[in-house]
Structure 1
Amino acid sequence: MRILKKIKASKVFLYAFLGIVTVVQIYPIIWMFFFSLKDNEEIFGGNVAGLPKNWLFGNYVEAWIKGNIGQYFINTLVVTALTILGTVLFAAMAAYAISRMKWKFQKTALTVFLLGMMIPIHAALLPLFLTYVKVGILNTYACLVLPYIAFNIPISVYIYVGFMEGIPKEMEESAFLDGCNIFKSFFRIILPMLKPVISTITILTFINAWNEFMFASVFITKSSMKTLTVGIQEMVGQFTTSWGPIGAALVLASFPTLIIYIFMSDKVQKGFMAGAVKG
């Protein structure tokens, strides 16, 4: 009986602790939602953290139309989708060559990719800007997608390699005996087996590309091509600022990240565990 009481007491303590952690994590999201439904008078009148007196859902309409958040949202979505597609595919190809093929600089290539994880993304800001000016691709999706893919590939290759090393090579050998070439082996055998890892890489890449600010603010100057992070910043006026619509824009910008993580968080955990065990 004493042991059962101890077990129950420990569970109660654990659930209470997890409940507190959950509230702490969720509170900023709830606070931001309430903030987005207020006007400046209420915000600066002292009611910053409480419930809105007047629920101004029109702030979302103002942010979407007048703040041009709709266009910024589409631009961010296109850039993020292209970044995810390029990172998932190119990193998988590189990892396949490193983990499944035998060639002279196999280990060196992996080391080079791992060194790429140590380079701050913004260290390439000035060289990339000068290159883009000469090439003439500023204010295009490419000027953001290319560096996003390049800086997301190292961690993606590292995760892929750890997972691929646990896949039996006999599967590919039997496919080769049946007349399958390298490309068919990769796309038909290896790639379908990487679904847990692809989910992990997709979320990591999504967060990095969706929330990136520095490259987007330097490489994009046309209003029609700006992303959410830059567009929301420009909603802050020089003399006056409507903070309610800015809060609404922040909620709209955060919503896709929350939805994707809610539906794919279990796959992320499985991907990391599979890569750790098999690697």
Structure 2
Amino acid sequence: MLNRYTWRTGVLEIVMIAVAIVFFIPVYVLLNLSFRESNDPAGPLALPSTFTLQNYADAWVQGHLGNALVNSAVVTVVSVLGLVVCASLAAYPLARVGRGWSKALYFTFLVGLLLPFQLALIPLYTTMRDIGLLGSVWGLVLYYVGLQMPFSIFLYTGFLRVVPLEYEEAAAIDGAGALGTFWRIVFPLLRPITGTVVILNVVTIWNDFLTPLLYLSGSGQQTIPVTLYSFVGQYVSQWNLVFAGLVISIAPILIVYFILQKTVIQGFASGLKG
């Protein structure tokens, strides 16, 4: 029997539509301002007097967004790949071994979630300087892998604890080693949580501003957030180029999210279920 459309359903739909409108307003303002000329007197909610695509071309050329996109992509992709491989391998024995040392090590990793990263900014800066990684995207990769490792291990460990042991026992009977069992049997089962780890870390690394500003300052290699900051000056701020650059910068993240959307939801659902 079909559910009846009640007044509660109608109220719920109205509330959902209102919430959607509230969330859509910033997106509308972002797109609206990116298509208007710098001297347009209209308010941020009013449509532009003249629509123009020149802001996107100017932002791309003046801000060297192509180079910044490449740098952000290299840092994000390599960092996330390192996190997926290292965190999943580290979480496997933490979830499967029931001895005291594994629990102590697991809680040691969790301490990394509680400590603010600002505490290590100066020591890490001096360390990067001493080993010659300042001004290099590979220094950022090393930093992000270390920074996001506790969070990624936390997600993988929680998921692995609800994965049945029967698959691994069957592989062991067939003569597979621990590493082979992990990559051939266990890791494919981690696809939902891997999607969650990927998208959460991609968003965090891609949008980070402070770390690239600190470690890449003075070099020709800059990421998207730092490059967009160059349009804002003490005396002149090119807001039309800022908003156009923001649209360009968020496009790759939106594409990745839409591709992994189903996997991310499955990962969260599985984590909640466990």
Shorter-chain TM-score: which interval?
over 0.9
Verify the 8 A CA contact 2:135 2:219 in the aligned structure 1.
no
1:125 paired with 2:126, answer no
Matches within 5 A, 1:40-51: 40-42=38-40, 45-51=41-47
Q: What corresponds to 2:50 in structure 1? A: 54
In structure 2, C-alpha distance between the alignment counterparts of 1:26 and 1:184, rounded to whole Å: 47
Aligned partner of 2:12 in structure 1 is 14
CA contact (8 A) 1:72 1:224 kept: no
The match for 1:191 is: 187
Amino acid at match of 1:48: P
**What corresponds to 2:33 in structure 1?**
35
1:142 corresponds to 2:134: no
Provide the residue aligned with 1:166 in structure 2.
Answer: 162
Offset, 1:235:
1.6
Q: TM-score, with normalisation over the residues of structure 2?
A: 0.94
Compute the displacement of 1:253 (Å): 1.3
Counterpart amino acid of residue 15 in structure 2: F
- Please state if 1:248 is matched with 2:244: yes
Q: If the length of structure 1 is used for normalisation, what is the TM-score?
A: 0.92
CA contact (8 A) 2:29 2:45 kept: yes
Kindly state the Cα deviation for residue 6 of structure 1 after the two structures are TM-superposed: 7.9
Runs of 5+ in structure 1 lacking a partner? none
How far 1:104 moved relative to its partner?
4.8
TM-fit CA distance, 1:143: 1.4
| Preserved contact between residue 32 and residue 251 of structure 1 (Cα < 8 Å) | yes
Partner of 1:272 in structure 2? 268
Structure 1 SS opposite 2:190: helix
**1:83 maps onto 2:79 in alignment:** yes
- Residues 42, 49 of structure 2: 8 Å contact kept: no
- 2: CA distance, partners of 1:60 / 1:238: 23
Contact kept, 8 Å, 1:87 with 1:149, in 2: the verdict is yes
Residue number in structure 1 paired with 2:149: 153
CA pair 53-209 structure 1, distance change in 2 beyond 3 A: same
Aligned AA for 1:21?
A: V
Alignment check: 8 A CA contact 1:160 1:275 kept: no
Alignment equivalent of 1:204, drawn from 196, 200, 209: 200
Residues 5 and 166 from structure 1, CA distance in 2 versus in 1: closer, same or farther, beyond 3 angstroms? closer
Equivalent residue of 2:176, what SS? coil
Taking the aligned partners of 1:219 and 1:90, their CA distance within structure 2 comes to 23
User: Aligned equivalents of 1:128 and 1:148: distance in 2?
Assistant: 12
Paired AA for residue 19 in structure 2: V
Q: How far 1:214 sits from its partner (Å)?
A: 0.9
Q: Which residue pairs with 1:105 in the alignment?
A: 101
Q: How much identity, in percent, do the aligned residues show?
A: 31
CA contact (8 A) 1:212 1:229 kept: yes
| RMSD (Å), alpha carbons | 1.8
Deviation at 1:46, TM superposition (A): 4.2
- Partner secondary structure for residue 6 of structure 2: helix
Report the equivalent of 2:22.
24
Please report how far the alpha carbon of residue 49 of structure 1 lies from its aligned counterpart in structure 2 after TM superposition.
2.2
